[in-house]
Amino acid sequence: MEANTSSNINLKKQYSQFGISGQVLDYCGGILENLKERFQSIDEIAEYNQLKVIHAMQECRVSEACLLGTTGYGYNDLGRDTLEKVYAKVFHTEDALVRPQITCGTHALALALMSNLRPGDELLSPVGKPYDTLEEVIGIRESKGSLKEYGITYRQVDLLDDGRFDYEAIRAAVNEKTKLVTIQRSKGYQTRPTLSVAAIGELISFIKQIKPDIICMVDNCYGEFVETIEPSDVGADMVVGSLIKNPGGGLAPIGGYITGRKDCVENAAYRLTSPGLGKEVGASLGVMTSFYQGLFLAPTVTASALKGAIFAANIYEKLGFPVIPNSTECRHDIIQAVTFGTPEGVIAFCQGIQAAASVDSHVTPEPWDMPGYDSQVIMAAGAFVSGSSIELSADGPIAPPYAVYFQGGLTWPHAKLGIMKSLQNLIDREIIFNLEVN
Ligand SMILES: *Cc1c(COP(=O)(O)O)cnc(C)c1O
C-alpha cells in the first residue's frame, strides 16, 4: 500500500481547474521550498497565541450559556460580559469593551478618542499621518462631528526618512494640553514601515518620561496576533481594533474592541451607550458564538494571512516588482504591497484574487470612481463577511506607482490559490513573460 504522502496527491489537477498551469505551480513550489523555516516560526507564534486565547477562555469560565444572546436592553448579558473579560485577559489589560454596536475600526478609534478627550485637550500623532478615515475623525479634513469641531486640537510629528521616531520633535510637540497620543501600528496604505510592538514600547516609554499622565492609544488594526505580545504588553493604555480584521477570525460579522486601562474603557462605554448606562446595556443579539469562535480561530487565521503575504512578497520580488515589506523582512502586520508599475498589472492581480474566492468568484472587479479618492480604485473582495479584510482581499488605486495592497486569507491554501491565480493572470495577459527573471 502506498503511503499517503504529498507526492501522490494530484494537486496539479486540482489547480488546473482554476486555470493554473503546471509552470506556475512548479515556480511557486520552488519559492515555497525556501520559506519552510519562516512558516515554521509563524506556526510557533500561532501556537503560542492559540494557547493564550484558550487559557483566557478557560480562566474566564466561558460556558455554553455565554454563546446565547440577549435582546432589548441587554442587562446581565453573560456572554458579552465574559467575552470582555476574555479580551482583557488576552491583552493583559484591566478592562475591555467588545461590542457589535461598535460598527467598524474607524468607529472604535473615534469612540476611544472622543470619549477620552475633552475640549481644550490636544491629540498628538508621533508616527505621522494617521489612517485615511481618521483624518475626518480628527478634523485634519473638515468634517461634521470631528474632534476639531469640539475644540480638540491636533499635532503631528512625522517619522524620520529612515522610518525612525523623531524623538526631538516629539519632545518639542508635547505640551501642557497634550492629553492623548495615538500610535498606529500598521503602515496601513502608506509606505512607512509597520511598527513592531517593541518599537511601540520604546515610544510609549519615551512619551511617559516626558509626561506620565498622557494616555497612549494604539491603533492595532491588522496587527493582532502577528507577534506573541500586543501593545498593551508594552505600556499602551488603550489598544483598539476591528473585529472584521484579525481578532474576529473571519467569523465575526461586525464589531470593534477597545481594551486597556479601566478608566479609559469606562469613558468609551459611557460614550458608546450613555452616561449612567455605560457597559451595562447593549444586547449581544445573536453574534456571541461568532465573536468567541472567531477569537478562538484568530491566531491561526492571522498566521494564514501572514504566510500569504510572505509568499506573495517572495514571488513578486523575484520577478522584479518592488514589494513592501520585502521578501525577508520581519512582519508586524498582514498587509502586503506590490508595485506593478502599470494599470494592467494592478487590474490583473485584483481580478486574480477575486477569481479565487468562494463567494462572487464569477464577478470581475473593475476600476471605479470611489467616493473620497482622487483616482479610480479597483477592489477584489469575494468575502463571506462584506468588506472583511481578514478574508483574502486586494485593492489598488489606478494611479502611479500602480501598487496593489492585499491582505488576508482565512486559510493558507486559499491565500496560496489567490496569489497563484493572480500570477497566472499576469502571465496570461502577457504582463509577465518569463518566470525565471532575476
Ligand atoms: C482598517 C483600519 C482602520 C479602520 O478600520 P475600518 O474598519 O475600515 O473602519 C484604521 N486604522 C488602520 C491601521 C486600519 O488598518
DSSP-derived 3-state class of residue 367: coil
**Residue 437 pLDDT > 60:** no
- The pLDDT of residue 418 is 98
pLDDT at 413 over 60: yes
pLDDT at 1: 42
Residue range 371-400: average pLDDT?
91
- Which atom of ligand 1 sits closest to the CA of residue 242? 7
Please give the average per-residue pLDDT across 370-388, as a whole number.
88
Spatial distance between the Cα atoms of 262 and 97, rounded to a whole number of angstroms: 10
Q: What is the largest CA-CA distance in the chain?
A: 77
Residue minimizing CA distance to atom 12 of ligand 1? 221
Interval between CA 139 and ligand 1 midpoint (Å): 17
pLDDT average, residue stretch 232-242: 98
Q: How far is CA 142 from CA 33, 181, 288, in A?
A: 51, 21, 37
pLDDT value of residue 374: 75
Q: What is the pLDDT of residues 188-228, one digit of tens each?
A: 877 788 999 999 999 999 999 999 999 999 999 999 999 99
239-251 pLDDT, tens digit each:
999 999 999 999 9
Section 104-123 average pLDDT = 98
Q: What is the structure's pLDDT at 281?
A: 98
What is the Å distance from ligand 1's center to 119 Cα?
A: 25
pLDDT tens for 286-331 read: 999 999 999 999 999 999 999 999 999 999 999 999 999 999 999 9
Please compute the mean of the pLDDT values over residues 169-180 and round it to a whole number.
98
Confidence of residue 2 (pLDDT cuts 50, 70, 90): very low
Cell of 114: 472622543
pLDDT for position 189: 75
Ligand 1 pocket member 310 (CB < 6 A): no
Reduced to 3 states, what is the DSSP secondary structure of residue 329? Answer: coil
Is the Cβ atom of 106 under 6 angstroms away from ligand 1?
yes
Q: Angle 305-309-312 (CA atoms, 0-180°, nearest 5)?
A: 135
Q: Is the pLDDT of residue 436 over 80?
A: no
Q: What is the per-residue DSSP string for 87-155?
A: HHHHTT-SEEEEETTS-SHHHHHHHHHHHH--TT-EEEETTSSPPHHHHHHHTSS--TT-TGGGT-EEE
DSSP letter (8 states) at residue 254: S
d(CA 85, CA 79): 10
Distance 10 CA to ligand 1 centre (A): 40
109 with 240: CB under 8 angstroms? yes
pTM for the full predicted model: 0.95
- Is the pLDDT assigned to residue 3 strictly greater than 50? no
State which of 99, 102, 106, 238 you would mutate to test the pocket of ligand 1, scoring each by most atoms of that ligand within 8 A of its C-beta: 106
pLDDT at 7 over 70: no
Q: Is the pLDDT of residue 438 over 70?
A: no
